[in-house]
Amino acid sequence: MTWRSLRAGIGLELRMVVVLIGLLGLRFALAGGQYVMLLADESMIYVIVAVGLNIVLGYSGQISMAQAALAALGGYSAALLVMRLGWPWILAAPAGAALASVAGALLGLLTMRVRTHYLILITVAFSTVVLLFIVNWSALTGGPTGLYPIPPMELGGFIAQGPGDLFYVVAVLAVILVYATERLRRSRVGLAMFAIKSSEKGAQAAGINPAYYRVLAMSLGGLYAGVGGVLFAALIKFLGPESFSLTSSLFYIVIVVLGGMGSTAGVVIVGVVLTVTQQQLQNLADYWILIYGVLVMLVMAVAPGGLGGIINLGREIRSTRRRPFRAARPR
């Protein structure tokens, strides 16, 4: 495989995402400071969870309010395996992500035959059940006071004591998962999901099983959320129910909508920008839901495709300029 073929196969969106992650890491690494590195880690973690939701919402067209709850399942299960059973992180982290993936698949089975507001209601109910479980089972989860102190992540001889150490783990996983998402979008599975989103009856006529791919999308979304939850537990070393509320799920939906449903690059860019902005303007925490609503309305009115739609439009204009105009020859 030549470099030219590899470069063509990777695609413009993925190259933009890799460059963004690289520049983000370089900028924050040069800036130094624990807070800056913490912000970099949080940005990448939120991007991972949002990219997973993009598979559910952007690829298969399912509106889910359960992404934060799935992240909670992944984070809490991994942390409990480390703290209560003494599992090493190398085993607890995949176990937590796998549990969230299985929970996503089960949620997909429950919502297999419902659409629109019924789907939203079921995912809201699922999130509520998870949060009530976390709050009320204090002996296991720590209840409202939270679960702490979570031991630092150890992978072989590497110990992530602080945000600076964990950044490399988070950045590598973010690149791998974003790459996997882009490959999924271009695969037969991704095309089947987009076909179901466009027209379920048309997809069925083409021999595609909508139920299978909807459940698969929910399972993959749960896997990404579980990875994000595990990394969040290792980063903060504390887990509380307030970090996985319905407002958090709404935050991920806003990222996907503003970034462009189905656009990997748009979701990554908006995820980083919104995360950094939200952390820098914490004095506006009581108004974020209002701000989210206004942003979504403005984007839907001006650019319904979000940032991804703008990127695609720029790509089409660029490709049109490259092709010379040739007048038709008279017969």
pLDDT at 167: 82
More confident residue, 12 or 172: 172
The answer to the question of residue 42 being in a domain is yes
The answer to the question of residue 4 being in a domain is no
Separation of alpha carbons 45 and 26, rounded Å = 17
Mean of pLDDT over the chain: 86
Tokens representing 304 are 């319904």
Contact 44, 168 (CB under 8 A): no
The answer to the question of residue 275 being in a domain is no
pLDDT at 160: 81
The answer to the question of residue 320 being in a domain is no
- Residue 55, pLDDT above cutoff 90: yes
The answer to the question of residue 194 being in a domain is yes
The answer to the question of residue 17 being in a domain is yes
pLDDT at 24: 64
- Residue 287, pLDDT above cutoff 80: yes
Average pLDDT over residues 278-289: 81
The answer to the question of residue 296 being in a domain is no
* Least confident range of 46-50, 116-120, 282-286: 282-286
The answer to the question of residue 270 being in a domain is no
Band (pLDDT 50/70/90 cuts) for residue 27 is low
Average pLDDT over residues 173-185: 89
Collapsing DSSP to helix, strand or coil, 61 comes out as coil
Band (pLDDT 50/70/90 cuts) for residue 78 is very high
Letter string b/e over residues 227-245, b meaning 16 or more CB atoms within 10 A of that residue's CB: bbbbbbbbbbebbbbebbb
Which of 258, 272, 271, 268 shows the shortest CA–CA distance to 310? 258
Average pLDDT over residues 217-238: 96
Name the domain count of the chain: 1
Tens of pLDDT along 230-262? 999 999 999 999 999 999 999 999 999 999 999
pTM (2 d.p.): 0.89
pLDDT at 48: 95
Average pLDDT over residues 309-319: 74
Look up the domain containing 95 and give its range.
12-245
Band (pLDDT 50/70/90 cuts) for residue 299 is confident
Say what the alpha-carbon torsion angle 88, 91, 96, 100 is, to the nearest 10 degrees: 180
